[in-house]
Structure 1
Amino acid sequence: MRRTPGAPRRPRTPGSRRQGAHAPGARRALRSARRLALPYVLIAPTVLALAAVLGYPLVDLLLLSFQDMTRRQLFSGTAPPWAGLDHYRTILSDGFFWTVVGRTALFTVVCVGATMLLAMVVALLMRRVAPWVRMTMVGVLVAVWAMPIMVAASIFRWLSDADYGVVNWLLGLVPGLDFSKHNWFDNPWQGFAVIAGVVVWGAVPFAAITLQAALGQVPAELEEAAMVDGARGLQLFRHVTFPVIKPAVVLVTSLSAIWDFGVFNQIWLMRGGQPEKDYYLLGVYSFIESFAVNRYSVGAAIAVITVLMLLGGAVVYVRQIIRLGGAE
């Protein structure tokens, strides 16, 4: 409204001037706070869901490992007595437990090494074929990846069957080899080779597709310049290609190690739900102690130790994720 001549001006108080001066700064601070809080608000439902689904079982598992749960307490609903660190002392002083740990570590190293080698070969081949062949290979890999573990285990049990197995038949065609009625699971080394085949079969598709996507980020000009300088084959891959895809290789290797260290289904299915002690890995050992021998607290303690061991691979994975995020 226009002021009439001679009308007195409305005096401005110092407080009102300060409020008007600081209003834009306050709004900017509010917008900045909202931008900072937005990622946490968006990720909060996922964190809460994970805490509800995984947090309570992990806490309950940890508490159970410090108790002495038997079938009496399980069926009566009474609180089990407190055992403290007794189960951990028993497990860590047991030679068979360390045998299982070593067997699990060796199995993990073999499976991860075979997975990464085959996946890298497949990824490099996919990079050099025609686009329609590449799409066909991706489709086949996705189909293999989507195959249920039970189906894959059944296929490998049929392939290695002592009476009708295709593997025995093919090896029997080689002069001087007699694999008639050969049982691959009589020898744990041969049996674990078959089980490792099931694990690698299911792991290669994810690794190959991920590495193929990483290879697509390698600048063609960089490789062409290296080839002009005389780099060829393995030398070109080692000094030019691999440094670019190294973060992806570390990520896939870490995930594969975490998955293979906790293998259970493949062994359980390949041995018909009754794995012998020679086929115990940490996941199988924990399950047997809990639900076959009914030593629930001992099985829980083994599971807790397994989780602590898996944290090593998880730390490598998270550090690489953080490093990639910082690089971007």
Structure 2
Amino acid sequence: MTTTAPAPGTLEAPAAPASRPKRRRSPLPYILATPAIIALLAGMGYPLIWQVWNSFREYGLAQQFGQAPEFVGLDNYIELLTGSEFWGVLAKSVVFMAVTAGATMVLGIGLALLMKHIAGWARITLQVAMLLAWAMPIVAQMTVWNWLIDDRNGVLNYLLSLLPGVDMIGHDWLESPLSFFAVASVIITWASVPFVALSVYAGLTQVSDDVVEAAQLDGAGGFQMLRRITLPILRPILVILLLLQMIWDLRVYAQIELLQGFGAAGTQYDLLGTYIYGLGIGQGHFGVAAAAAMLVMLFTIALSWFYVRELLKEDAQ
């Protein structure tokens, strides 16, 4: 059998590449994730479904004693969205979140940079002090802060009164809503800064020394190094930390509730957490409280989406 050679000047068609067999994915990751998913659905699925359904019903004290709840559709949402009280609490909560999260990030980054440039013994001392502050239970934190700001025997008023011409003995820091939320912001910032500082410091330790030396050889100063080298490298960490702080500060409850127990009372001292608790437990309007909780959840999901998107970008890179 003879083969015919291709004519001069013609190209021989390339052979089709052999198809590679598809790699089968191991089912082990899905098997390992299944118990966690089941526990999550069991622990959160029923309460979430109950809250969503309850937000469309009239559910008050009478229903707690056996009366059948009445389906009211969107009435609970309309009552919230058309009233000024919910919007006022939401505005206060957003401002409180922005101020507290911003202060936490600035102080946390500053302490992380400080730990990067101080001696070893001083850095360890600072890290231990921040860990103790971060690990302290909320009730213990609030007990200490109540002792500091007490209007009769508070340390803060006593120290301020030592200044010439200043008399702060008897001053109640929780009487005015503005000073009330200022105190709450200071307390929450104090408790949150260690987490941010230690996380940013961990990121600083991963910045390559070669990059730093190259920037220094190019004449970059301390501020230029921070703005053009360090912060851009740490940007993924900073974005995630900021979004987490915003979500946590928006949902703050325990500190505000305990501060109100120290003397302040009324809806003017409420943020979203205490406002929803007061609607449900305090006033017995569980349907309206459930609707408010759903609105807050949607707002939190909107914030969380940026966090999830940043995680997806990190995975893609």
Q: TM-score, structure 1 length as denominator?
A: 0.87
State the 1:326 CA deviation.
1.9
* Aligned counterpart for 1:315 among listed residues 274, 292, 305: 305
* Aligned counterpart for 1:74 among listed residues 51, 55, 64: 64
State the 1:34 CA deviation.
4.1
Gaps of 5+ in 1: 1-24
For 1:19-98, list aligned pairs within 5 A: 32-35=23-26, 37-76=27-66, 78-98=67-87
2:45 aligned partner, one-letter code = G
Separation (CA, whole Å) in 2 of partners of 1:148 and 1:275:
24
Of all paired residues, the percent bearing the same amino acid is 37
2:24 aligned partner, one-letter code = A
Question: Corresponding residue for 2:99?
Answer: 110
* Aligned counterpart for 1:285 among listed residues 275, 284, 290: 275
* Aligned counterpart for 1:195 among listed residues 184, 204, 214: 184
Q: TM-score, structure 2 length as denominator?
A: 0.90
Aligned CA RMSD, in angstroms, stands at: 1.8
Once the two structures are superposed, residues 232-266 of structure 1 have per-residue CA deviations (whole angstroms, 9 ceiling, x without a partner) of: 22221111100000000011111111110001100
Question: Corresponding residue for 2:175?
Answer: 186
Q: Confirm or deny that 1:211 pairs with 2:186.
A: no
1:296 aligned partner, one-letter code = F
Count of residue correspondences: 298
State the 1:321 CA deviation.
1.5
Q: Mean Cα displacement is larger for which, 222-231 or 174-183?
A: 222-231
1:151 aligned partner, one-letter code = A
Once the two structures are superposed, residues 112-151 of structure 1 have per-residue CA deviations (whole angstroms, 9 ceiling, x without a partner) of: 0111011001111111122333233222222111100011
* Aligned counterpart for 2:290 among listed residues 297, 300, 307: 300
Separation (CA, whole Å) in 2 of partners of 1:164 and 1:232:
48
1:73 aligned partner, one-letter code = Q
Separation (CA, whole Å) in 2 of partners of 1:203 and 1:55:
29
Give the secondary structure class of the aligned counterpart of 1:178: coil
Give the secondary structure class of the aligned counterpart of 1:139: helix
Specify which structure has the bigger relative contact order, considering alpha-carbon pairs within 8 angstroms and separated by 6 or more residues.
2
Runs of 4+ in 1 over 4 A off after TM superposition: none
Gaps of 5+ in 2: 1-18
State the 1:171 CA deviation.
1.3
Separation (CA, whole Å) in 1 of partners of 2:215 and 2:272:
46
State the 1:225 CA deviation.
1.9
1:33 aligned partner, one-letter code = R
Give the secondary structure class of the aligned counterpart of 1:33: coil
Quick check: 1:156–1:194 contact (8 Å CA) kept in 2?
no
Describe the shift of the 1:275–1:263 C-alpha distance in structure 2 as closer, same or farther (beyond 3 A).
farther
* Aligned counterpart for 1:253 among listed residues 242, 258, 262: 242
More helix by proportion, 1 or 2?
A: 1
State the 1:47 CA deviation.
1.6
